[in-house]
Amino acid sequence: MHRLLTALLLPLALSLPLRAADWPQFLGPNRDGSSPEAVTPWKGERKPVWKKPVGEAHSSPVVADGVVYAFYQPKGKDADALAAFDARTGELQWEKSYDREKFTPLFGNGPRSTPLVSGGKVFTLGGTGILACWDARTGAIAWKVDTLKEFKARNLFFGVSTSPLMAGENMVVVMVGGKGAGVVAVDARTGKTIWQAADDPASYSSPVLGDAARGGQHRDRQHDHGRVDRDPRDPRAGRELCHGESLDEQGADLLLLHAGGGRRLPLHD
């Protein structure tokens, strides 16, 4: 069953004199679901500017430099595909794919992870654990890493779902779940491992990058499994600063820990 990619943000973009702000990764530019743009509320039904058919997917489209990128499974193929569309017109700029092993999870096929666009590259993580780097302009694949095989991890019941995170300029962080590879950072230019840490299994959540309460140091935070706080740019990058209890892979609770002592922080006042 085909899924229609509808450019939901484009009607807003066309009302602005300049190109709208980018939405280059899971949950937007700050990975928190917020946008720097102020949008005037509209009334009535909003009609799509354009629509394009793409394959099955649970991932979200992303927008960067006037281009919409969609990550999906091509119809009738055991493959992951990435396509680029002009954000204003919907014109297909390119569509590329790579073959991967067959995987048919419940509740629909296709990748779960949302792409990341950074530095002229697009980073994707497929449902079978293949982390890939694509040229944002041409779609050429610079490198691929089969993370499940590389780190001897098992796939999740519904497939790998974590969305890649850029830490600094050249470090991509993903949750893998292998022994000593609960969280893995790779070089964005080569795909080579920079550091790996923790024995926790992966989950359906994604890491975020936040500031510690003191010192402004950046920490890579992994939700759902309670692992928080490692500075990816520190010379000791990848070391564990604190560790809370783990949930099973299907747990939906959000667990935040204090960087200093590993105690739970309340989610609500």
Which structural domain, as residue segments, surrounds residue 22? Answer: 3-243
Q: Is residue 66 part of a domain?
A: yes
Q: Is residue 266 part of a domain?
A: no
The answer to whether residue 125 scores a pLDDT higher than 90 is: yes
Number of domains in the chain: 1
pLDDT of residue 161: 95
| Six-digit token string for 102 | 């067959």
CATH number assigned to the domain comprising residue 209: 2.40.128.630
The answer to whether residue 230 scores a pLDDT higher than 80 is: no
Model confidence, pTM: 0.79
φ and ψ at 150, to 5 degrees?
Answer: -60, -40
3-state secondary structure of 243: strand
Neighbours of 58 (CB within 10 A): 20
Q: Is residue 264 part of a domain?
A: no
Asked which of 14-18, 116-120, 133-137 is least confident by mean pLDDT, the reply is 14-18
| Six-digit token string for 129 | 């654990």
Q: Is residue 267 part of a domain?
A: no
Pairing of strands 208-211, 218-221: antiparallel
173 in Cβ contact with 217 (< 8 Å) = no
Q: For residues 103 and 56, give the distance between their C-alpha atoms in angstroms, rounded to a whole number.
A: 13
Q: Which amino acid is present at 268?
A: H
Q: Is residue 109 part of a domain?
A: yes
Q: Is residue 254 part of a domain?
A: no
Q: For residues 65 and 137, give the distance between their C-alpha atoms in angstroms, rounded to a whole number.
A: 10
Q: Is residue 252 part of a domain?
A: no
Neighbours of 241 (CB within 10 A): 18
54: pLDDT confidence band, cut at 50, 70 and 90? very high
Q: Is residue 145 part of a domain?
A: yes
